Structure 1
Amino acid sequence: MAGLILLLLAMGSRAAAGTQVPQDNDHTLQAMRDEMVRAKTRLELKIPNIDQPVRPYYVEYRLVDLEVREVVAEFGTLLTSTHTRNRFMDVEARVGSYKLDSSNFVSDDGFRGFIGPIGSVGIDRDYDSLRQDLWIATHQAFKEAVDTYSRKQAYLSSLARQSDIDDFSKAEPVQLIEPLETPDWTSRNWDQEARDTSATLRAFSEIHESRVTYYLVYATEPFLCHVRDAPG
């Protein structure tokens, strides 16, 4: 028995024509900006044996909106046609300076898993809900950065020779805001295309089992970061 699986994958505007929507319908960037302001002005921790409270010198917010359309057909028959949407969040905070910060270090505890600053968030693009998610994730990322920085300093102090390569390099800031678009899944009849593509396999008598899958992904990725003046 011969089998065949045909997977067609497309991403971005090639999968579905994008249509611009009014900026007022999405408060994502505004929520990210406002939460960034609060993080850089109010976020701090007091650590024993250190006079000044510790603050993050670098904070990064990254969101990924994914809309996925999956169509499966077999020998001209449509099996499934689904449309899902997810939003994921990644928050990073660093303490220290350009010369030495909390990044690029794994302690004896090893990998801690995707808990706290990384995870899924609501897909409704609600301003207040997103700010709350970002604030909780920023606190978690900051606490982990402080702990990692302390462990990293202790480890480096035990070395006979330390690296002279900076942990972070300086660069000119770049701002790029493109018009918000949403996928237009009606620009092509994906269900019929899957049927037609799978139907062509009927001509091959040696194929007794086959499946054609259209996997269409449309991604939007808002990104925002802030670097506070830090020594080094």
Structure 2
Amino acid sequence: MEAVLTDSDHVNLLWTGGWDSTFQLLRLLLIQKRSVSPFYLIDAKRASTGEEILAMSRIKNMLLQNYPHTKQLLCPTLFYAVEDISEDADITGAYKSIRQKNHIGSQYDWLARFCKEKSLFDIQLCVESYNNPDKKHFNIDDFLTEQHDGYQDIYYIDDRFRDTEEGEVFSRFSFPIINLTKSEMLKNTNENMWGDIMNLTWFCHSPSNKKPCGQCNPCVLAYREGFGSRIPFRNRFKAYFRSR
């Protein structure tokens, strides 16, 4: 198994090639000057897997070209298969209990099991803040406490909730952008002139001819948050009608 670095200047990051995790990757490498080990879990059932991996490759190439110092900071991406993650009754039971009360993505079950299996703690999981969160969806905010890691404010499961179902699923993660909305990240991106890199990110779950479909939830959310221009014009109408 690959060695996992854990000193305070090194960060383990769940990277998907998407907007949120790429934004945090740039903050870590270009502002905080910290070394990063990106982790990517391959979900064979996910139609966007190939596009996400391609996006990460393009982003990495542009990073190394535009910011040569990142060659010493950006470690090779560690790839693992979701289907190889061990079962864990405690985590899956806690996840299912949360799901009975609120919508929650299936990835949080296998991400938590992966971290437990690999003895990973404090791995950064990039979940953004929403101005008007959907009350039907699980909201992690109420279970978090803010700390400062010497570089930025970052959020963890509060000790009061360690023994709860939420703690069972989320206590192995830290949340570095939970206090930022997409528009705030865009403002920061423009200020730092990261647009060329961030435009290489991928968000669609069901690509059509290798382009965003306009119909999946990430496409609809991207449209609502002002990123409709990244969806092909024909498919943008689908996002428009689905977002109404």
- When normalised by structure 1's length, the TM-score is 0.27
What TM-score, normalized by structure 2, do the two folds share? 0.26
Q: Which has the higher contact order (CA 8 A, sep 6+)?
A: 1
Which structure has the larger Rg over C-alpha atoms?
1
